[in-house]
Structure formats: structure tokens, C-alpha cells
Amino acid sequence: MLTRRGMLKTFGGLFAAGFASSTYAVGIEPLLRLRTTTYQISPPGWPEGQKLRIVALADIHACEPWMNARRIGDICRYANDLGGDIVVLLGDYVSSMRAVWSQVPPDIWAAELSALRAPLGVHAVLGNHDWWDDLDAQAADGGDTLSHRVLQAAGIAVYSNRAARIQTATGAFWLAGLEDQIALRPGRSWNRFAYVGLDDLPGTLAQVTDDAPILLLAHEPDIFPQVPARVSLTLSGHTHGGQVRLFGYSPMVPSAYGNRFAYGHVIEDGRHLCVSGGLGCSIAPVRFGSPPEIMVVELG
């Protein structure tokens, strides 16, 4: 028989567990944890013996206190120690969260990112929040955002529907980067209800002029069903792994495909996608079962 004392103990235990989980999800996992997740992949179209180690950072969402300048700098120094041949940044450098003390100015977070180093350079695409928070870029329906400008000023190559051929000691590859797929908010006289993407996958891939393999950077993974087999690997962020992830499932994922592209290494029809869990938080400063991570991909 369940007594009154037993009921109180049960409810007390549930309350304590809920409080502990909430404390961990808000105060520990997003602020204090950082993991490195490594994938070793030999995708179709990638030449045998052509080695490439990619270090990928996504979804920084710079803000106080969750992702302040000091923490960004610490993450960059740690990323440099991972020995990547190339560093790629997968978008969303600014934060739109309301639950913050203050925003980190773009020139400050860009200065911290300028410390990143790799033999083949540091290369970036933008994310939706970099567009959504730039009112001038929204009003202009495109062009360069403030994030474009501060990254370039920091010496980081920014890809906006652009492909570049990169030569390495073991072979060449093409690095292609898409502009954001939901860059422009709805509300205009000509577009009241839908987000508008500025990405151009066919135009970007048309810049490839030889048979060297292609790596594609795309902030949102939702482009993946349209990516042709000619692309050896697509790298994305945006989803944060759902920020709350239990037993490989996230109840809320900012993707039209739900958990299909929420996180990790995805293979469909022989095509490969790697989705980073990202570093910062969006909407709410909560992470549970999806700690901030740096993604490392070893090809060849």
C-alpha cells in the first residue's frame, strides 16, 4: 500500500531528479562540456590514399554567458590542437536568444576565430541567424551581411555559392560552400509567408572544372536530398543535434526532415552527410544529451 509518506517521498524524488536534470541541462552541459566526435570515412568518389583531416566548428551563437569571447577563444585553441589539415566553419556565429546577458559584438567573436590555424586554411559559410539578425541585409534582400565582412576581415575565406580548388600533397579537391537556405525572413510585400533561400547548388557545382572530389559546406542539412553523387561529402550544422537528444532521438529538430538529418553520419544512396551537433544554443540555453562538440572527419 502506498502511504502518504511514501507518496511524499516519491514526489520529492521526482522533483529532485527534475531539478538536477534542469540544472545540468542549463548550467553544465551547454557551458562546461566539449566533446570531439570523429568520423573516418571513405566515400565514393574520394581517391584511395588521398588523406584529409577536417576540423569542423558549427553554430557558435556568440553571447554572454553561454558562449562568450573567452570560451570561443578556448575552443579555437583546442581545435588547433586537433591537427586538422583544414578547418571549416558551418555558420551561425551570432545568437538570437533572448535568454542572454548580452551579445558578443561581431568584431570580437571574429577576432577570436582568427586564431584558428590549419595548413589548408580556414573556410566558412554563413547560417540563418547570421542573416536573420542583420536588418540591413534583410532590407536589401541579399548582399553581404555583417558576418560576411567581419569573417573576411579576420582572414577567413567565406563561401557564398562559390567553389574553390585546393591542392594538397596527396591530391586536389574542390571545396564548395552554399549561401543559406532560409536566409530571408517572410514579411515582405512580395513574400509574406515563406522563408527565402539564397543558396544555388547547381550554380556552385557548375564552377567545378575537373574530376577532383568535391566537399560541400551547407549550413542546413535539408539540402542533402538534392546533392548529387558527384559530391563526395556534405558537411552541415544548424540542428544542434536537437539540443535535447535521448537514445538517438530528438523531440524537436529544426529541419523539414525531423530526425532524418538531425545529427551524425548519414548515408543515403551511397551519398555521405555529416551533421555537427554544434557548439552553442538556439531558442533556449539548454542542452541535454547533445553536448557542444567539435566534429572531425578523416577522409581516405
The 10s digit of each residue's pLDDT in 179-218 is 999 999 998 767 777 899 999 999 999 999 999 999 999 9
Average pLDDT over residues 121-146: 96
Is the pLDDT score of 13 beyond 60? no
pLDDT tens column, 43-90 = 999 999 999 999 999 999 999 999 999 999 999 999 999 999 999 999
Considering only 27-31, 97-101, 243-247, 263-267, which range has the smallest mean pLDDT? 27-31
Considering only 19-33, 235-249, 276-290, which range has the smallest mean pLDDT? 19-33
Is the pLDDT score of 32 beyond 90? no
Q: What is the pLDDT of residue 1?
A: 47
Comparing 197 with 15, the larger pLDDT belongs to 197
Average pLDDT over residues 123-142: 96
Average pLDDT over residues 100-122: 96
The domain limits of the chain are: 1-32, 35-299
CATH architecture of structural domain 35-299: 4-Layer Sandwich (3.60)
Question: Average pLDDT, whole number, for the chain?
Answer: 90
Q: What is the pLDDT of residue 17?
A: 35
Q: What is the pLDDT of residue 187?
A: 81
Average pLDDT over residues 126-139: 96
C-alpha cell at 171: 591530391
pLDDT tens column, 276-297 = 999 999 888 998 888 999 999 9
Q: What is the pLDDT of residue 23?
A: 55
